[in-house]
Chains A and B, each alone.
Chain A
Amino acid sequence: MKKVPYRNQFSKILGLTLIAFLFYTVPATAQDDASGEVAAADAGDAKKGKALFNQNCAACHALNRKMTGPALANVEARLSEEEGLDKEWLYSWIKNSPGMIKSGDPYANKVYAEYNQAAMTAFPTLTNEDIDNILAYTAAPPPAAPAAAAGASDGASGTAAQAGGVSNEIILGALVLVFGLLVVMLLLVNKTLQRIAQANGVIVEKEKAEKGLPLWKAFAKNQFLVLVTAILLLLGSAYFAYGWMMQVGVDQGYAPIQPIHYSHKIHAGDNKIECKYCHSSARVSKHSGIPSLNVCMNCHKSIYEYTGNPEGPSQEDLENGYTNEFYTGEIKKLYKAVGWDETNQKYTGESQPVEWVRIHNLPDFAYFNHSQHVSVAGVECQTCHGPVEEMEIMYQYSSLTMGWCIDCHRETNVKVEGNEYYEKIHAELSKKYGVDNLTAAQLGGLECGKCHY
């Protein structure tokens, strides 16, 4: 009875969403077309300009924000209005800014002085047309159509998701209800039948029960059965107790909350940054190393905000509150820690080291060397650390127990190709064992002293 109105509501929501989607997206694309036309009229293609801008300028410039260089929104108009400089000036500046500074151009030198005397890279390869395109983009950036659409669909899919969530619960609830009803009905039927039987004076079942011993008594009398059961029970509980105890101190899946919400998914997954770019010491040291904050700032000097996944944020991100604003806030935490003054684009010198919570804790008596595995053996980081590129929150993927190490050492062949160190020992040992490829274990990788000293 309850289901009916909900079903209606559900279809209604679906319908509404569809309408809303259409309503928002159609005008948006129309606008896009219109702006394209405007840009064409201004002898510059904003679309092409955007691509060029991202490729050449975005490392140091933003549209509405000072970075290493000045903000570039409407730069052409601004220059002609404020400084009386025409497009030709811009052409020559972009193509050869150091030359302009040398030649003593007043505005060129002013800008140069204003931005910490960091000379702008010269772009002699850009044609005037390219520059026009870029300027067109800076003058009227094509509105982020997909973003608007995504925004609209955000709302829609959000509600849809909500609806989906509700419906799942309802279905489950209904099932429970049905089962409950069935149980009640069975009980009722049973009761009724019994009553009928009583009324008829039939007492069939009880007779049967009185004939034999109760099952548990019969069981208790059979000592052998009791013994076997007891043994089985003990073995079973021992098995589970052992399993439980073996996981004591094993922190597989440990995913502590970190002082800065650092998403490996965004960095290693979406942006495909190589692991060893940040964890550079893994190549040469026993530690993989948590990157120092200056490594973060290599990119985050220019990436000051999170503008979202190009494919749009996923549902669970938003559910967890991982909005663009949230991520941008985390970047601000980084700035605070490293002492970066965003407005002046300067380090203040007041830094506060980040106290990360260590996830992978090997005991002190176990020696592990990253470079042995990463550089020498060429093991992928993911082999031990799991699909880090999918981890929004980093967690301990492997158990890091000794058995886990040993298993791998037994199965993994040593990478000997091209390594002169292994030449002799591999030739001799593989002959001795009669194998083509030696495992780490065969090379002594199971000896206690290799990891415990």
Chain B
Amino acid sequence: MASNKKYWKNEAELNPDDSIVEALKQNEFVEQIPVDEFLGDKETLATTNTNRRDFLKYVGFSTAAASLAACEGPVTKSIPYVVLPENIVPGVANYYATTIANGFDFASILIKTREGRPIKVENNTLAKVGGAANARIQASVLSLYDSTRLQGPMANGEAVEWNVLTATLKSKLGALNGSSKKIALLTQTYASPSTDRLIAELQASNGNIEHIVYDAISEDAALTAFEARYGERALADYDFEKAELIVSFGADFIADWQGGGYDAGYSRGRVPKKGKMSRHVQLEANMSLTGANADKRIPLKPSAQKIVLAKLYGKLNGTNVGGNTSEYDAAVDSLAAEIKKAGSNAVVVTGLDDVNAQAVVLAINEMLSSKAFDATAPKYIRQGSVKALNSLISDMKSGRVGALIMDGVNPLYSLPNAADFKEGLEKVDLSVAFTSNWNETAEAVQYVAASNHYLESWGDIEIKKGHYSLMQPTIKELFDTKQFQSVLLELLGSEQTYYEYIKETWSSSILNGANWNQALQDGVFIGNGEVADNDESQSNTLIGGDAVVSNTSSISTAVRSLANTTGDGMELTLYSKVGMGDGQQASNPWLQEFPDPITRVSWDNYVTISKADAVELGVENVNVANGGMDGNYVKLTVNGVSLDKVPVVVQPGQAKGTVGLSFGYGKTVGLKEEMKTGVNAFALYDGFNAHQTVSVEKVAGNHEFACIQLHKTLMGRGDIIKETTLEIFNTKDHAEWNEVPVVSLDHQEVPATSVDLWDSFDRTIGHHFNMSIDLNACTGCGSCVIACHAENNVPVVGKAEVRKSRDMHWLRIDRYYSSEETFEQDNIKKDEFDGLSGENGSLGGFGELEDPSANPQVAFQPVMCQHCNHAPCETVCPVAATSHGRQGQNQMAYNRCVGTRYCANNCPYKVRRFNWFLYNNNDEFDFHMNNDLGKMVLNPDVNVRSRGVIEKCSMCIQKTQKTILDAKRDGRVIKDGEFQTACSSACSNGAIVFGDINDKESKVAELKESDRMYHLLEHIGTQPNVFYHVKVRNTNEA
């Protein structure tokens, strides 16, 4: 039940005496206009030459001048096409199915284009495998218009023509053919049948060519383990929807674990249906997105995770696994019991970069014959080989490499041993880097081949065995760039374009008679039955009999070595953030400004550390008066490599004795000054292992974070999260776990929903839009935040402004910590105190009381404008700039707004944003709205707001109006599901559902009748049109 639970966003809120927290609760505009400062300065006022009359003269003159200047409108030119392309109608969007495959993110998506410009990424609902568009993919359309992109090929720092470059390559590579030196292609993972064929043909024509695949964040351990067991270098696929019990050893599978894309299935399993939902146990060191969603989270050091995994295997297998300690036995016993009970409905996954751990997990899933586990049609989206890469580096250093051609990789940034690579690179006769941005590697090579963005390229991807996707260009190359494969074709001497080459590959080996155009239109194609048959036979031979037997011995060795893991000292877990991933899009301002779902920090990476360790080290986070957060610095050292100044964030739930640090930051080359944020964690990625032993020491200095977790608080109105457990949910009446707040009317307590100060409009006619947000399905991944950003032309304000709580996100995902579990245990413990000292003595006992921040529960809550039917903002606007529409949308007329900010003051949900500055055409905000290239991403159907006006979520009125107009034009009734907002269509987890509740058949109308439905701050009677579903946690231990 919600009432006895304390929710908090920041560790500081646990301290009842924190005056800053108290102040911020009451004041959303923390930065005042410095009137007192100005008027209080009597001396300056007295000595100034400008007196009041002069001032009035100036004002009068400038007003008159401005009005005169405004009399004559500017001449606007309209330039139509000379020849209008057939499929373009100015003002009407076209959608193209394509696929992103940048080596880190793989997903089939739709691209919305306007007048030939890609402006928005949407999910391709036809795609059955791979993830939906996450925050990075949503933002990738802005990277197309990055003004720092390379505009053409370069040779030794000078611009060069493509034909010169390819001719040079051709002759030099030809000369190397048959020589003793080899030619190395070092590339990202393509998972592309056509590229594989192309490279094979190239190798056939030139015997010295070697292809090495390199993933910046490696899944080598998982690949190796899978290869050892199933004979194919690939990754097992999981369908978490089918799992009733998920046990994860440090696998952040909601985010980027093994290429990601598992969150939608997971979320479907998390929504209670007929009293059932999946149970998720997470054992991890960092507080990850996945851990935050778990029903039970056990903070454990990576070394301890290995021991527990080994013991778990022993328990399940019935063998006795020794090991160093017995301290985890209780946990192991309960886990094993749960898994045994769930049987084939359980699945175990791990993110440990350890071949043994990965092998054991595969063995467990096979032993359980887990329904969620699929090794027969594996995924190909990670193929990097650490062994091959290391041998390449040693070859380079010994001068055995004649030519090195790189595509889609930036080893000098992302290699832990970048210095070795650089040394080797200097001994290579010919070095070429295909890259779309100037970067560390481009700086060091002879030839920089400017390559296409994926939205300008052709391609094909086999994400999972038998599941193919096509990539097609949605815009002509903006600059003088070429994609890697086109150049390879030229080197091969082929006249074909890469498009023709793909088509050839597909018609000969993939389509099997199916229609190419249909496949291209769909963007996805599922291979024919033949493949499936193969799978089955293969799986039979693999799982049945011999294969497993031969594996058993190796598994027992693996288990033994896992069980003997020793962990001493601090352990570091490197991870990738939802916003930045492996850092490919570091120059993307949307992603830089995207607040991390867990820490709520934007524009930075940092060391996460547990409260206990922080106290020990003497580091802390301090909230300062303007709402910003400060932190100390530490020095991290791994195997002699150190990062000298890394800011610290005290992270509730971080396992004691561990620290975390994210990849993707700390780029220094080829970025605008503002984008050079954070530190480069790849330096500590020793041996491509994300888990390292580290020494941490405090260093001097104070870091200013742009952290928004204390911003936009609810004026002390308290908790807006409601949650319950599955048990209560199933057994008790909803009035008990989802109680409607009561208010006093005529000295009688009545439900708040029955009291109404206002006369209501009749909303039963026409459309009435409502939005449903299911707190169970929401994983907090944030793709809606970026989708909203892209759809609504939300400006980027920069780190300094975010710190002052001036971020402009229309949609924020609040993250609340709570500690009911620990409090309850504390109460029991307190009650059992017996005397001052001794076993149950209170003297020592109070000190042992658990720290609420040691292992909190986490809840995510997306909050946007609630579109209240009785909106407090509307009544206080002096100029009626904000008003209510009959369709339920709270409308905002920017041209009417005079910027009093009364509405923001009066909004109980704190969802209104004020434009403190002119963010477009202003070089002070050098992100994307100040240059012609970056402005191409703007949605032409939504206003770009100017300085001095309030803006907020419009419930995508431009989209609802468009849907209505389309139906009117066709003369038809609107079907359920046609109404979408940017966030609801971006949410592949099904957490956000949008629709018309006057359509009684609609999904949203059904959701509104659910027992779990509640409104935020119901007691204040705002009657929002956004409603939430109570979060249910599955705390049922087996």
Contact = CB atoms under 8 A, between A and B. Distances in A.
Given A290-B80, A295-B84, A453-B891, A419 B971 contact: yes
A449 B885 contact: yes
Given A364-B944, A449-B893, A452-B895, 16 more contacts: A281-B89, A290-B78, A293-B83, A294-B83, A351-B82, A358-B78, A361-B76, A365-B893, A369-B965, A421-B967, A421-B970, A428-B764, A428-B765, A429-B765, A449-B885, A453-B954
B113 to A, nearest CB: 14
A419 B766 CA distance: 15
Contacts of A449: 883, 885, 889, 891-893, 954, 957
Nearest to A356: B78
Contact of A285 (B90, B764, B961): B90
Nearest to A244: B71
Contact of B891 (A421, A423, A447): A447
Interface in A284-314: 284-287, 289-295
Contacts of A353: 79-82
Interface in A250-301: 251, 256, 281, 284-287, 289-295
Contacts of A432: 762, 765
Most buried by A among B883, B891, B896, B942: B891
B contact residues, range: 35 or more
Interface string B891-910: 11111100000000000000
Main secondary structure of the interface of A (DSSP, over half): loop
B77 A356 contact: yes
Given A355-B77, A356-B80, A453 B942 contact: yes
A354 interface: yes
Query: Which of A376, A421, A423 neighbours the largest number of chain B CB atoms within 10 Å of its CB?
Result: A421
A363 B73 CA distance: 11
A364 to B, nearest CB: 6
Given A292-B81, A355-B79, A284 B67 contact: no
Contacts of A354: 79-80
A102 to B, nearest CB: 32
A337 B83 CA distance: 11
A425 B944 CA distance: 33
A249 B766 contact: no
Contacts of B969: 284, 371, 375-376
Contact of A292 (B84, B762, B973): B84
Interface string B912-944: 000000000000000000000000000001111
Interface string A14-53: 0000000000000000000000000000000000000000
B172 interface: no
5 contacts: A286-B91, A351-B82, A351-B83, A355-B77, A421-B970
A316 interface: no
Interface in A405-428: 418-425, 428
B89 A285 contact: yes
A324 interface: no
Contacts of B330: none
Contacts of B67: 248
B968 A452 contact: no
Interface of B: 67, 70-71, 73, 75-84, 89-92, 762, 764-766, 883, 885-887, 889, 891-896, 941-944, 954, 957-958, 961, 964-965, 967-974
A368 to B, nearest CB: 11
B958 A453 contact: yes
A353 B79 CA distance: 7
A452 B893 contact: yes
Given A453-B943, A453-B954, A425 B971 contact: no
Contact of A251 (B73, B92, B944): B73
Contact of B91 (A249, A281, A428): A281
A447 B887 CA distance: 10
Nearest to B886: A444
A420 B764 CA distance: 19
Q: Which of B765, B887, B892, B970 has the most CB of A within 10 A?
A: B765
Contacts of B896: 448, 452
A175 to B, nearest CB: 37
B973 A421 contact: yes
Interface residues of A, number: 57
Contacts of A366: 895
Contacts of A369: 965
Name B's interface SS: loop
Contacts of B885: 444, 447-450
B795 to A, nearest CB: 15
B79 A292 contact: no
A372 interface: yes
B973 A420 contact: yes
A134 interface: no
A287 B889 contact: no
A357 B75 contact: yes
A338 interface: yes
A367 interface: yes
Contact of B883 (A375, A423, A447): A447
B76 to A, nearest CB: 4
A289 B973 contact: no
A337 B82 contact: yes
B886 A447 contact: yes
Nearest to B93: A285
A292 B83 contact: yes
A249 B73 contact: yes
Nearest to A286: B91
A225 to B, nearest CB: 33
Contacts of B971: 418-421
Interface string A328-365: 00000000011100000000000111111110010111
A287 B77 CA distance: 15
A339 to B, nearest CB: 8
Contacts of A285: 89-92
B968 A444 contact: no
Contacts of A448: 883, 885, 891, 893, 896
Contacts of A418: 971
B514 to A, nearest CB: 32
Contacts of A421: 964, 967-968, 970-974
A421 B996 CA distance: 14
A444 B887 contact: yes
Interface centre among B889, B894, B969, B972 (most CB of A within 10 A): B969
B77 A372 contact: no
Which of A338, A366, A448 has most B Cβ within 10 Å?
A: A448
A52 to B, nearest CB: 34
With most chain A CB atoms within 10 A of its CB, the pick from B76, B80, B891 is: B80
Nearest to A444: B886
Nearest to B942: A453
A420 B957 CA distance: 22
B81 to A, nearest CB: 4
Given A448-B896, A449-B957, A287 B765 contact: no
A372 B966 CA distance: 9
A356 B885 CA distance: 38
Contacts of B973: 420-421, 423-424
Contacts of B974: 421
A364 B944 CA distance: 8
B83 A281 contact: no
Nearest to B764: A428
B905 to A, nearest CB: 21
A432 B889 CA distance: 22
A293 B92 contact: no
Contacts of B80: 289-293, 353-354, 356
A369 B964 CA distance: 12
A367 B889 CA distance: 17
B892 A429 contact: no
A357 B78 contact: yes
- Which of B883, B957, B968: most chain A CB closer than 10 A? B968
Nearest to A250: B73
Given A356-B78, A419-B968, A450 B961 contact: yes
Given A285-B91, A372-B965, A453-B942, A294 B82 contact: yes
